[in-house]
Chains A and B, each alone.
Chain A
């Protein structure tokens, strides 16, 4: 039944994990950036869903995978703009706005998707780089390297640049930051926009590079897992990427178990990444690093008061 002659099981799981981790990392980085600025984006799941659909559809219509990715990112940016308008400018409750966005966007994707995408759709996909010799190290789609590069940029901006300091100040004490001359609303909106764009891009990568297909249930809870991982990682971009990789490995393992026919209900196997998230969240509450340098933005979820 299985046919992976050149690869042993561990390598296969590793590769599947990295492939799944890269869209996850992008969306997670976006969430970290936006939460560091003080805005929670619970619409993540919906933004990824729409990004997956639009990326796939545009690629099918125009035959260009890269155009698909750009369209995914663009629609994410739009949804991010909606969230920024609600959460930053109007001062709406971020949780309600985010949940609304998520439910509406996943619903819209599931509803519009089947009208747009038919069995005849033939989109261009993003394929793996052919580096046959070092396949386990280098044979990933280019989007994986994009995720890693963005991660490095995020780390360096948040820790060392003045922009990063302005972002952290906006998320920590927006009033003090405003008094220091930071335009808090502008900083927060930009971060939400970037977060939305990365979520949309992540969705497009999910459908065009990882799954190479589109289903109406597409992100399948990935957005929610990410929202749990962000606090767990202490709002640090490097650590959140690591957690994404771990969770992606659990997911790959779970899929592998289903393929080789482990005698467990598929539903139980499907639960694995979510159970792993729960365990990780509990461990995060009692783990010693909670006491160390902890970056929780203290104004997370709270609009600027003036």
Chain B
């Protein structure tokens, strides 16, 4: 049995884990759920030896343990599979396992093969990791833990990056691991994971455990209430429909190729009307990012046409599109959203630094820039020090900065790609409020998201993408999670 008693861990002023008690026995699947920032990942990192707790003890099979490294945790049988796999991409699966385990190569192959057969895994051992799809990489991580005789497996968001079929396979795998007397800890924010395969569920909020129930004594509503707590997340439902008839963005039969291993676009057509939030649903990697790139001008389509406010912008540069009124909140906000090395005020001015109001006669006047930045910050009620280096902003604050900059000149269309991904509840709520404000002011939003609840809450209309095509649309009023799930599952 693995027991954690009164684990506490602080980062600065925030208590990521606050007196957390937990026990897991072999043969059990325990789901730990909670919103982003609830402290799930911190707890996993402590259990697997990546972080040291400030206080509290770990007891493994009756012996108290204090881990100084991951390999120490592995040696007593605890292994974690993180969201970002700890695999070396250029090596084969076998070489990755060998590197961790050592010993005789031939014996290792036999042991691995035995486990593969017993659990019905499909992962090939002789191919380099970078050629393997995500589910296989995940299987390989689990395999590596099993080869090292780990009894306690911590899976951090194992289904987050997977489609529904692969997610089912992971749940089945967790089931058969439990049958063979392993303990599986499933960290997740998907209720479907919990309800379909866990035996027990622990709910975390703000670093504390707020619920701990056997699965048959609880239900989805009770779990999500415990997860979210009191913070209300703004939704579109009580806003009046604001859609006009004018077409703001008209994408006509656009095709383009995708980048390494992900879908491009095949014959995609869509229209966004004024004052409308059009949601794009789908598992990421199914063409959403190329769609955003083609619309914002980061990528040229191979065929088809893009009309923005009746201008043909198919081959216009991103800057030219922005001058027409197109704004962009990119998926990778640290890489494409802001220049990390610039101070906050520099990033706030990036869209308009060329204008003579900001740079008279081509000279940079930091006083003018700072004034402009201060005004912009007020629009999102933020109060950062102007000279603060942007890379040190938290995800939520960075997203607010980008939103303030992008919505500055009341753009006609905002392309928002995964705008709340990785943000904590408060930041999610603020981001949504800003998006809805922009819509109320008459702007349109092309909202690309993986979070069905968010799409249902915000969108006026939803289209679903799969394999680079639009596979269906749901009109306002008829949208429900079930209908969307059917669409995305191909049903």
Contacts and interface: CB of A to CB of B under 8 A. Distances in A.
Given A162-B98, A169-B99, A179 B86 contact: yes
B99 A179 contact: no
Nearest to A296: B90
Interface string B71-97: 100000000000001111111000110
Interface residues of A, number: 16
Interface stretch (A97-105, A170-178, A199-207, A265-273): A170-178
B100 interface: yes
A166 interface: yes
B144 to A, nearest CB: 9
A187 to B, nearest CB: 11
A166 B90 contact: no
A180 B100 contact: yes
A181 B89 CA distance: 16
Contacts of A181: 70-71, 99-100
A83 interface: no
Given A179-B70, A181-B71, A298 B98 contact: no
Interface string B49-77: 00000000000000000000011000000
Contacts of A12: none
A182 interface: yes
A145 B102 CA distance: 33
A294 B426 CA distance: 45
A165 B90 CA distance: 10
B88 A162 contact: no
A197 B165 CA distance: 54
A179 B91 CA distance: 15
A302 interface: no
A182 B91 CA distance: 14
A169 B88 contact: yes
B89 A173 contact: yes
Contacts of B88: 168-169, 172-173, 176-177, 180
Contacts of A180: 86, 88, 96, 99-100
A100 B102 CA distance: 39
B91 A172 contact: yes
Determine the main DSSP class of A at the interface with B: helix
A270 to B, nearest CB: 39
Nearest to A162: B98
A238 B349 CA distance: 53
Interface string B89-129: 11100011011101000000000000000000000000000
B70 A166 contact: no
A169 B102 CA distance: 14
Contacts of B98: 162, 165
A176 B87 contact: yes
A295 interface: yes
A118 B244 CA distance: 92
Contacts of A175: 86
Contact of B90 (A179, A182, A298): A298
A172 B96 contact: no
Interface size class of B (residues with CB under 8 A): 10 to 19
B99 A182 contact: yes
Nearest to A182: B99
B413 to A, nearest CB: 37
Contacts of B71: 181
Given A180-B96, A181-B71, A162 B102 contact: yes
Given A176-B86, A179-B86, A181-B71, A169 B100 contact: no
B302 to A, nearest CB: 21
Given A181-B71, A182-B99, A168 B90 contact: yes
A180 B87 CA distance: 8
Contacts of B99: 162, 165-166, 169, 177, 180-182
A162 B108 CA distance: 13
A298 B88 CA distance: 10
A168 B91 CA distance: 8
Interface string B195-214: 00000000000000000000
Contacts of A182: 99
A182 B87 CA distance: 12
A165 B100 CA distance: 11
Contact of B95 (A165, A173, A295): A165
Nearest to B90: A172
Contacts of A179: 70, 86
Contacts of A173: 87-89
A201 to B, nearest CB: 29
A302 to B, nearest CB: 14
A104 B87 CA distance: 39
A162 B101 CA distance: 10
A168 B99 CA distance: 11
A172 B88 CA distance: 7
A91 B26 CA distance: 44
A169 B91 contact: yes
A182 B100 CA distance: 8
Nearest to A177: B88
The residue among B70, B90, B96, B100 with the most chain A CB atoms within 10 A of its own CB is: B90
A151 B71 CA distance: 34
Given A179-B70, A180-B96, A181-B71, A165 B91 contact: yes
Interface in A229-260: none
Contacts of B86: 175-176, 179-180
B275 to A, nearest CB: 46
A295 B102 CA distance: 23
B71 to A, nearest CB: 5
B100 A172 contact: no
21 contacts: A162-B98, A162-B99, A165-B91, A165-B99, A169-B88, A169-B99, A172-B91, A173-B87, A173-B89, A176-B85, A176-B86, A176-B87, A177-B88, A177-B99, A179-B86, A180-B86, A180-B96, A180-B100, A181-B71, A181-B99, A182-B99
Given A176-B86, A177-B88, A181-B100, 14 more contacts: A165-B98, A169-B88, A172-B88, A172-B90, A173-B89, A176-B85, A176-B88, A177-B99, A179-B70, A180-B88, A181-B70, A181-B71, A181-B99, A182-B99
| 9 interchain residue pairs of minimum CB distance | A179-B86, A169-B88, A180-B100, A176-B86, A172-B90, A173-B88, A165-B95, A180-B99, A181-B71
